[in-house]
Amino acid sequence: MRHARTGKKLGRDSAHRRALYANLAGALIEHGRIKTTVTKAKAVKPLAEQMITLGRRGDLHARRQATAVLRSRDVVHKLFAEVAPLFRDRPGGYTRIVKLGPRPGDSAEMAYLELVDEEYVAREREERATAVHEPVVEDEPEAEAAAEVREPEADAEPEAEAEPEAEAAGGEAAPADEA
């Protein structure tokens, strides 16, 4: 039994699995999106996010740690120079898995593992936050303000009706401001 054993074996020994994860993470960093099975995407996602976190640190030790895992200086350079600065202000969640459906040959569930587009997500969150919270907050003060506005209008209507009656009687009514 595999009690308290995390991670998937994927039908490979440990060296083959480590090489697979390094290759998939390197391809993700290099290309921005890879197409793979859902199981492999879920397995490599934590490693890819850890590499981006190392890239965000940006020091020499982090670069050496990333090189030890990814085994490619070109990929590590791209990680530190191009990919990590995109996620400088993001506190995590650098990747997403988009499911595509079954593969025709063997019905394996396929997915895209892709880097999250920072600007798009930031705008979407702001729009969603304003759309959800503002109407609730603004409706209550507007309703109170509308109620306050209606009350003086109700008081003004009888005065407006009284003035034409006074004019019809022959006398001139004094304006309310002068009285």
pLDDT digits (tens), the chain, 179 positions: 878 888 889 999 999 999 999 999 999 999 999 999 999 999 999 999 999 999 999 999 999 999 999 999 999 999 999 999 999 888 899 999 999 999 999 999 999 999 998 554 456 666 666 666 655 555 555 555 555 555 555 555 555 555 555 555 555 555 666 55
Does 108 share its domain with 125?
no
Does 1 reside within a domain? Answer: no
pLDDT at 74: 97
Does 155 reside within a domain? Answer: yes
pLDDT at 174: 57
Does 103 share its domain with 72?
yes
Provide the 10 A C-beta neighbour count for residue 14: 8
Range of the domain at 135: 117-169
- The whole-model pTM stands at 0.65
Tokens 């200086």 found at? 73
Does 90 share its domain with 122?
no
Does 51 share its domain with 74?
yes
Task: Note whether 28 and 34 are within 8 A (CB).
Answer: yes
Does 51 share its domain with 96?
yes
Alpha-helical regions (H) of the chain: 14-31, 38-57, 60-70, 73-78, 84-86, 118-168
Does 8 reside within a domain? Answer: no
Token pair for residue 127?
């729009």
Rounded CA-CA distance 14/166 in Å is 100
Does 109 reside within a domain? Answer: yes
pLDDT at 126: 64
pLDDT at 120: 44
Token pair for residue 98?
């988009």
pLDDT at 117: 84
Of 114, 26, 32, nearest to 75 by C-alpha is 26
Does 105 share its domain with 76?
yes
Does 69 share its domain with 40?
yes
Task: Note whether 37 and 108 are within 8 A (CB).
Answer: yes
Does 177 reside within a domain? Answer: no
In the chain, how many domains are there? 2
CATH number at residue 53: 3.90.1030.10
pLDDT at 169: 57
Of 30, 70, 34, 76, nearest to 57 by C-alpha is 76
Does 4 reside within a domain? Answer: no
